[in-house]
Amino acid sequence: MADKTIVAFDLYGTLLSTESIAKQLETYIGTKAEAVSALWRRYQLEYTWRLNSMERYEDFSIVTKNALVHALAEHGEQLNDNNITALMEAYDHLSTFPDVKPALIRLSADASIQPVVFSNGSKTMVSNSVLRSQDLSMHASIFQDLITVDEVQRYKPSPASYNHLATQMGKQESQMDQMWLISGNPFDVVGARSVGMQAIWVDRVNKGWQDAVAPELRPSAIVHSLEQVVLVVQGRR
């Protein structure tokens, strides 16, 4: 196991499409669904960063629910508790991006790679999402662990979250560069690079790297499909 290359996949926005929940939203709010869905995701992320800055922590499921309420209110919408609960349950059944299935099949063929999920989601939320997603559940056995930030109560991109990943993987601080983060979220890539990890950014829309919060912190590699990840990791080994 020690010789294997650790490849940590972000879950929401990398393997699972948070945009796919717009279908459920449309049932309740019609044509506003896509706009609310995008704002929901924006506030979900923003809340985690604000909580980190305030040195506070809320379970990711609570963060997600509060972000939904905020996004709805901003569009002049309000749903009852039952509908909110139904939308939260829908998070357990998000669709994967089209490139996920072939990428995981390719990944399973390389015994030298140790794939894990590394997410801001709570342990329960992540486990439900991986095991109940119709698209992802059939590949769940590929992941050798589900690592979340519950224990350190610091969301990505806090250094504490990536250090927690290293601890869980049996790596020392000096060995951070032996681990790979795979993420479609630029903030996550920058966070990983800031602590010395390797990081691949999944640029599915081919817009190019634009994040300038710390210009010197760029992805180790950029791919346009998750299928390219295995080749990149193998090439850098």
Catalytic positions: 10
Sheet (strand 221-223) strand order: 146-148, 113-119, 5-9, 179-183, 198-202, 221-223
DSSP 54: T
Residue 236: strand, helix, or coil: helix
H/E element, 24:
helix 22-29
CA–CA dist 81, 145 (Å, integer) = 33
Rounded to 5°, the CA angle 70-151-1 comes to: 125
- The CA-to-CA distance between both ends of the chain, in Å, stands at 15
Single-letter amino acid code for the residue at 67: A
Peptide bond into 219 cis (omega under 30): no
CA–CA dist 188, 149 (Å, integer) = 13
**Under a CB-based contact definition with an 8 Å cutoff, are residues 145 and 117 in contact?**
yes
